[in-house]
Amino acid sequence: MVERSCGSAEKDSFRSFQKTIENISEKFDGAALCNTPSQFSSVERHYLSCEDLTDVVTQARTLANDKQLSDIPSTLLSRLLTVLSAHLKQANGLRLHSSSDETSIEAQNILVGLDAVSISLLILGADDMPKELYQEEWIDEMVDYIRFHLVHNIFVFFDAAHYQIHRAHEGVGFCEDDICQAAPTQRKKRRKNASLSRCHQKDIDSSSNNNIPKVVYSISSKLSMLLGQLANLLLVVRVPDAITLQLTSFGLSVFTIDNIFLLQNQAIKLVVAAFRTQPKLRGVIMDNLMLTLLKMPSSGRGIRRYMLPDDETPCIQMITAVLASCIQSSVTFSAGLAAGGDEQRSICETETVGYAPAFHWSHTFWKELLNSWQSAKDQEIDIKGLIQNLVTDLLTLLKFPEWPVASLLLLCLCSQLLSSCGICSTEIRIREFALDLLGQISARLKNDSKTCESDNILGYLARNTKQNISMTGGRGFAWAVDAARADVATTLVASNHCGVPVAFSEERFVLEAILLRYVHMQRPNDPVLNSSEQSALTFLFAQLAREADRHGTGFRSGVPCPGAYRVAYQKLYEVLNSSTEADLNRRSRDSDPIPRAIAVRLFRAFSRHLPLAQQVDTLFRRLIWALDDSAITVRAAAVRAIDNVVSADHRILGVEQIRSAIERRMTDSGTMVRSSIVDLLGKHMHKAEFANQYYKSILERISDVGVSVRKRVINILHSYLETLPNMSIRIEILRTLAFRISDDDTGVQELVVRIFRGLWLSQLPASNHVCQLTDAETTDFLSERAEHFVNVLWDVFCSVSRTGLAKLPLLPTFPIVAILRRTLSSSEDDAATLWKGDRKGTKDSIDIIRANDMCNAILNGLLLQEEYDGGREDALEVPFLIEDTQFDRRSYTLSFPRAVRYALGLHVFCVADRKLLVGDVNPTALVTALHPYLKRCENNPANAIQLQCCLSVIDAVVEEVGCLSFSSACELEKDLRCLLLRSTYHGVLYYAARCICSTSKIDSGTGALPGALQICYRFVKMLNEVCIERELSNGEHAHVARALFVLGHLARFGAETFENYGDREVSPTRLLHIFRSFLQRTSRQEFDLKKSALRACGLLFVSRPCLMLSAKGDFGKGSMDGIMCAALSTSAECGLKEQALLNLEEYLREEESRALIRFPVRGDQTSQTKYFSHDDVCNDGLVNLHGGKTENLQTVNGEYDNSLANGVAQRYWSDVIELSTDPEPSVRLKALHLVEIVLRQGLVHPMSCFPPLIALQIDPVVTVRKLAFRLLKQQRGKHPEFFDHQLNLALELLFDYCKRIRSAVKSMAKERQRNVDLLVSANICFSFYCLFSSIFPLFGLSPRAATRAKSSRS
């Protein structure tokens, strides 16, 4: 036996403790003799006081720290343990109540018993103690005592379920709120199952916020210390398996109780010590750990309470700390483990020796946890949240050198997620969750890899001297580098004798030695904590040795050389362990240890070469493969996972494999997948290298069928605009956004309106030095806005039609017009009353003021462009510009001056709201400014467009103001008459006719003949002269076509002027007679005149519907019924059918707008301002506000109705329905537009429209098919019973229509000499596919679901 030299103080402590034991023994013997057996078991008094035992605890701890307890005679220690055992029996079974305090007998006996257990564990846990002291019964008795007081005196005060089990039968105690106020999360979950007894008033202090007795916290503190001593006992003594399992059982149960964090911290040590010292029981401990995990809450503020060394890092869960510590403590490393030994051992040894136990139990834990998914789901356990919490904690631990096991746990989880437990599972939810976890792990690994690339700490050490290292890293780091280099030199010299010729990197070995020394120096003085930190050091050595053994094999083939080899690591392990005391002393003397930030950097560089980091590319490939999964939600989860990885390292987007995979998913059948892909790309569109690659793909998704996808694309493009310097791409994006104003979703429309309002009608930005802009700065900024506006407008104008340019006048559905209308009204209901009343101070008034400023800026831009000498022109290739020009239907490159764009901008504001054109100071300023441009005689497309725009503005201003000076009116009428006689463009003729009619309504007071009558007389005279001729020359043919067109529009807009004048030669009746005379001409060369005459009749009927009827007021002899029926027959020429349908459509639209006009209250003679509702705004045609003389034409149910719309619609409804399936696509489209108007106004019974709408679902023309489906969907929603009733008739019509399409395709193919049978079969197959893909959604089924239903019935 080796004797230790002791100082005088240590000898005094040794003798004092011996004397104390003797005194306690004498006192115990005397007390036992004085008491009877019945008194011996009473709890009314105890043998030793708390003060006596506290003094014994202090002395025993002092001797244990000095390692002198083993020198005390075993007889004295055995006698002391006997006395302490008696105190344990005296306090066993005692329970605290709400009135208990530290002075009560129960509390005093419990505290004495806990001190007795503490003394006993100090003695038993000391080194080199006699074997006769370790009695299994005594250890079992202490464990039972600790477990009893944990459950009955701690748990019941913090958890309602434990109270219900252990205290509810007593009938008194705490009410539910008092017991559970410390654990609100568990109380809510268990309130339904807890049926606690009511509390006596004396046991409750209602004024206290916490009714738990203070003595409970004292007992909890002592119990936490005992759990730590039990952990130390397990490390020193081989405890029986039954006791070990009992310890781990109540140790793990501590984690299910809230607000006992000190106990939980000590319970971690207990469970880890049992897992480390009992390899055969690890399976049972792991099962209990998993069961405890399933009992834990998955959310809440208090689920993470385990403090980490870094103050800036969030805490982790206690259960995560237990799992990681257990796995980490299972690793062993010593010189006896040779290279390759793990593969040569038996299966039993593999689970207990070396690095393999960590692998085994990590795989076992994750496999069992993932396999329990279904059972946990049946028990309503949120296992998804529990696993997510574990992964989050492990990702947090990934940067800590004290927790190297986190990398292994995540690696094992990834291997399970890549198997049938994860992305290969048959359950969709599991595959989704597995992809989410893999995405989080891969993203973290990519982020760490990217950080390591920029933080080359290995090169830093190689490049810098000791002085530089000391200046940048501190004295502690410089000392650590020197110490590590010395250790490496010593290790390499010692290991060279072993003859292991392996390639290694000495510089990397130095870094590893620094990291290992840092972890070695973090060991606390507590033996239990010391062993825990020692397990981190052991784990690191075992990990490094394993990687060195397997270098160059498998996925490690591309990894750089290891720092050293196994023998070198074993020598370094021996060096560090042999200098433990010196290291601790050095750490205590050194005021500047190794900075933690540098240790974290070292550990990150070290982890980069571990298997988990090396597998990141494999994980990412599996994520890409998951994009082809059969389930939509799984593919969406894969996209989100890739999004996480790309966010960590955006360079991945440049990989060709990623680019092709993303482009495939952009057209995925699942809206969720496309939405996720768009989100992924939208986060990186601000980077130029990726914007060029994916810009077109994102732009295509703006017309996606998914509303969420369209909204995301719009937001992405909006943010992209703010950082985009290229103006052409900006205009292209804005053009695409403008077309989304016609989106079916109102949210998308509002988003588009908000974007354009911010661009064109937002507040002017302030200057750098002043709060307000100067007049010059304001003018310049408005000029820039105006230029931007007209550029976007021109791009939209050139894209809205397949012929290259949109037709004028622009409709209210034109994108820019619709945007302005929505912008100028805060809501759809306010559109009707936008200009009514006082608008000052409102949001609308601000937008209107800014719109007025924009109009003025556009006008100024027009004037500047006209004055600019040799104005810049932009070439535009137009396939077919205007139908009635001398050009053929080919592509031409036409040049348009930039002034045309500004004129078009004024026209857009005119269509949006004509009151914006009327100034407050000079209402007719625009007429004065634009009138000179009417005198131009160029007869070309550019001048024609500019003339139409100027005429539309002049007409709007004249009609709004209602007055002009005599000279201005005369000059204006003169120019308009010249245009009507010389221009060859129908658009110019239309606006000239309309404008001259508006001017003619102004009373000049001179009695002069209005210009409209003058031009009307001239054209009527000419038509009367040529009407009697059988054949017309080419010149006469052109003049007649012009006359019919102009007279038709004069009759529409100036009928009231003609009637007021009273001359029968220009009356509407006479004009109708002239038009009908040209309808009777039968020459084939004059077919276009017949069509023009029919169009003129339709324009006349718009203003005077009564002329369609006979003299008797019906559709009999003398009416237009015969002509209309002939034109609407299936055998009529295509042009006549189209024109007849257009006539009916224009008439019904005008009647619809007339019905919505509201005149001012009678007696208000100020002005005849007319208001119209939002339906006017949404009309596809013009809103005509020229209300003429009204007549009561028919009586319905005793009430007068001045509209023929109902009778006309019902009269020709059957013809329209028949033409909706006409072989000509243009006829079908116009018929469908007419059907839409009739159904919207409710003029006919809707049941008859279902057969043709269903038949048109196989139409080969996409425009027709989409319109038919939209109408069918609307009517199906309103009248579902009609759909079912007419389905049989619709199928009959469908097959007839299919035959007609077949014959039409055959004739077309023969003309073009193509394969007839192949073309016809392909067309029919595609048509029926369109039918079933359209019809099944109306029944609430997809085609796939319908097929499955049919197969299941069969």
CA–CA distance from 44 to each of 97, 115, 989 (Å)? 16, 18, 118
For 451-479, b/e burial (b = at least 16 CB within 10 A) is ebeeeebbebbeeeeeeebbeebbebbbb
127's tokens: 């080194």
- Tens digits of residue pLDDT in 1222-1242: 888 889 899 999 999 898 888
1082's tokens: 């039968």
964's tokens: 């002009």
Lowest mean pLDDT of 389-403, 965-979, 1003-1017, 1222-1236, name the range: 1003-1017
Banded pLDDT at 1 (limits 50, 70, 90): very low
- Token pair 């001056």 is found at 897
Rounded Cα distance, 1305 and 1299, in Å: 10
Banded pLDDT at 610 (limits 50, 70, 90): confident
For 69-104, b/e burial (b = at least 16 CB within 10 A) is bbebeeebbebbbebbbbbbebbbebbbebebeeeb
> What 8-state DSSP symbol labels residue 1036?
H
Instruction: Identify the CA nearest to 228 among candidates 264, 280, 275.
Output: 264
Average pLDDT across the chain, whole number: 76
Q: 1229 and 1266 in contact (C-beta within 8 Å)?
A: no
699's tokens: 């732009």
> Who's near 527: CB < 8 A, 6+ residues apart?
232, 235
Lowest mean pLDDT of 374-388, 637-651, 685-699, 1175-1189, name the range: 1175-1189
Model pLDDT, residue 5: 43
Mean pLDDT value of segment 1097-1103: 86
Three-state secondary structure call for residue 468? helix
109/1326: higher pLDDT:
109
766/1275: higher pLDDT:
1275
Maximum average pLDDT range among 827-841, 1172-1186, 1215-1229: 1215-1229
Torsions phi, psi for 838 (to 5 deg): -85, 125
Amino acid identity for residue 1038 in this structure:
A
Banded pLDDT at 364 (limits 50, 70, 90): very high
Give me the percent of the chain exceeding a pLDDT of 90.
13
Model pLDDT, residue 1164: 39
Lowest mean pLDDT of 634-638, 986-990, 1136-1140, 1189-1193, name the range: 1189-1193
Q: 330 and 275 in contact (C-beta within 8 Å)?
A: yes
Lowest mean pLDDT of 202-211, 569-578, 1265-1274, name the range: 202-211
Instruction: Identify the CA nearest to 1225 among candidates 1267, 1181, 1254.
Output: 1267
CA–CA distance from 286 to each of 281, 283, 360, 402, 588 (Å)? 9, 5, 12, 22, 38
Q: 1052 and 1100 in contact (C-beta within 8 Å)?
A: yes
Radius of gyration of the chain (CA): 47
Torsions phi, psi for 306 (to 5 deg): -85, 115
> What 8-state DSSP symbol labels residue 465?
-
> Who's near 1306: CB < 8 A, 6+ residues apart?
1316, 1320
Model pLDDT, residue 525: 55
User: For the chain, what is the total number of helices (H) and then of strands (E)?
Assistant: 62, 6
Instruction: Identify the CA nearest to 549 among candidates 325, 333, 329.
Output: 333
147 burial class (0-12, 13-18, 19+ CB within 10 angstroms)? middle
Q: 469 and 481 in contact (C-beta within 8 Å)?
A: yes
Q: To the nearest 10°, the Cα dihedral for 244, 248, 250, 256?
A: 180
Rounded Cα distance, 159 and 258, in Å: 8
Mean pLDDT value of segment 923-931: 87
Rounded Cα distance, 465 and 456, in Å: 16
DSSP of 289-314: HHHHHHHS-SSSTTSEEE--S-TTSP
Q: 994 and 956 in contact (C-beta within 8 Å)?
A: no
Model pLDDT, residue 216: 87
Model pLDDT, residue 772: 58
Q: Which stretches does DSSP call E strand in 278-396? A: 304-306, 316-317
Q: 1258 and 1331 in contact (C-beta within 8 Å)?
A: yes
DSSP of 887-919: --SS-EEEEEEHHHHHHHHHHHHHHH-GGGGS-
DSSP of 616-676: HHHHHHHHHHGGG-SSHHHHHHHHHHHHHHHHH-GGGGGSHHHHHHHHHHTT-S-HHHHHH
Name the β-bridge partners of 289: none
Three-state secondary structure call for residue 1200? strand
**Orientation of helix 356-371 relative to helix 282-295, angle to 10°:** 40
Instruction: Identify the CA nearest to 972 among candidates 950, 952, 991, 996.
Output: 996
pLDDT at residue 42 greater than cutoff 70: no
- Tens digits of residue pLDDT in 273-317: 999 988 899 999 999 999 999 988 888 777 888 888 766 667 889
Torsions phi, psi for 219 (to 5 deg): -65, -40
Q: 542 and 333 in contact (C-beta within 8 Å)?
A: yes
Model pLDDT, residue 207: 31
> Which long-range contacts (C-beta less than 8 Å, at least 24 apart) are formed by 48-54?
48/24, 48/83, 48/87, 48/112, 49/112, 50/108, 50/111, 50/112, 50/115, 52/24, 53/87, 53/112, 53/115, 53/116, 53/119, 54/115
Q: 519 and 482 in contact (C-beta within 8 Å)?
A: no
- Token pair 């009135």 is found at 99
Banded pLDDT at 502 (limits 50, 70, 90): low
CA–CA distance from 1164 to each of 196, 963, 1159 (Å)? 79, 19, 10
Q: 330 and 276 in contact (C-beta within 8 Å)?
A: yes
Q: How many CB atoms lie within 10 A of CB 558?
A: 7
Q: How many CB atoms lie within 10 A of CB 935?
A: 11
- Tens digits of residue pLDDT in 684-695: 877 767 777 788
- Tens digits of residue pLDDT in 512-541: 888 888 888 776 655 555 555 578 888 888
